[in-house]
Amino acid sequence: MIAVATSATSGTSLSDKVLAALSAVTDPELDEPITQLGFVRSIRIENPCVTVHLRLPTSFCSPNFAYLMASDALDALRKVERIGQVVVQLDDHHDSDKINAGLAADAGYVGTFGVEAEESLDELREIFHRKAHTAAMERCAEQLLRTTDVTVDDLHRVTLADVPAGSHKEALLRRRVAVGLGVRPADPLVVSEDGQPLAPEDVPLRLRFAKSVRISMEGNAHFCRGLLATRYGSTA
């Protein structure tokens, strides 16, 4: 449960918008909202200013991932209507002081970590966007195989129009946009790593790989929830 403290003048609508903004921020490796993972420790709203504290399962979680989530949370909150000053702080991490100072100064990743940083985080984001797309694609394909007459031999002909509406399809479309793929009804569902249509004989191998990616991500998320509960005595 996220602790939200508000001043007497803070409206419920601002609280809802803050929570919605944070819910759109995901762990880059797990592709799950930081709110669902339990990474949002507290939210304080003193109309119209907002302070958010984040926490992670261990003190040695990757600084790259930690910075990405904190920076994305800051960016998401700054887009909220009627919001004033926004402060995002990461607690209990070995690089908390460095990350928090960089966020406060709007120094960016390279400015925050200096010589320790990669040139940018763009490549890292791209890797995890592609993993998220691969997992979402597999979920949709598995749903079709499980609930319809579609077989693996048919999947090379399946298009986005054939995927039933619902949370799996919505997630897939968002992730296709993130990696630069089309979302037209006629676009193929199962594609290669670089978004190209597959020959029928290549589909089973692609699906096996996609399933391994999806299971790995879900397993890591479960593991992180367990570590977080052990560390803080609570569950997401």
Task: For residue 86, give the CATH number of its domain.
Answer: 3.30.300.130
Query: Dihedral of the CA atoms 190, 194, 200, 202 (nearest 10)?
Result: -110
131 and 110 part of one domain: no
Residue 121 is predicted with a pLDDT of 78
Residue 125 is predicted with a pLDDT of 86
Q: Per the structure block, which two tokens stand in for 26?
A: 């995901």
Contacting residues for 57 by C-beta, under 8 A, at least 6 apart:
224, 225, 227, 228, 231
Q: Which domain holds residue 149?
A: 123-225
Cβ neighbours, 10 Å, residue 116? 10
109 and 139 part of one domain: no
Looking at residue 49, what DSSP letter applies? E
Residue 117 is predicted with a pLDDT of 76
Which contiguous run of DSSP H or E holds residue 192? none
* Cα–Cα distance, 216 to 95 (Å, whole number): 26
Helix (H, G, I), strand (E, B) or coil at 193: coil
180 belongs to a structural domain:
yes
> In angstroms, what CA-CA distances link 179 with 66, 79, 131, 159, 182?
22, 22, 10, 18, 9
Q: Per the structure block, which two tokens stand in for 135?
A: 């997992």
Residue 32 is predicted with a pLDDT of 94
Task: Write out the chain's pLDDT in tens, 236 residues.
Answer: 676 777 655 556 899 999 999 999 999 889 999 999 999 999 999 988 999 999 999 999 999 899 999 999 999 999 998 899 999 999 999 999 999 999 999 999 889 998 777 667 788 889 999 999 999 999 999 999 999 999 999 999 999 999 999 999 999 999 999 999 999 999 999 999 999 999 999 999 999 999 999 999 999 999 999 999 999 996 54
User: 40-46 and 3-6: which strand pairing?
Assistant: parallel
Supply angle C-alpha 230, 232, 236, rounded to 5: 85
128 and 215 part of one domain: yes
Residue 6 is predicted with a pLDDT of 73
Which amino acid is residue 115, in one-letter code?
Answer: V
Choosing from 56, 89, 120, the residue where a domain stops is 120
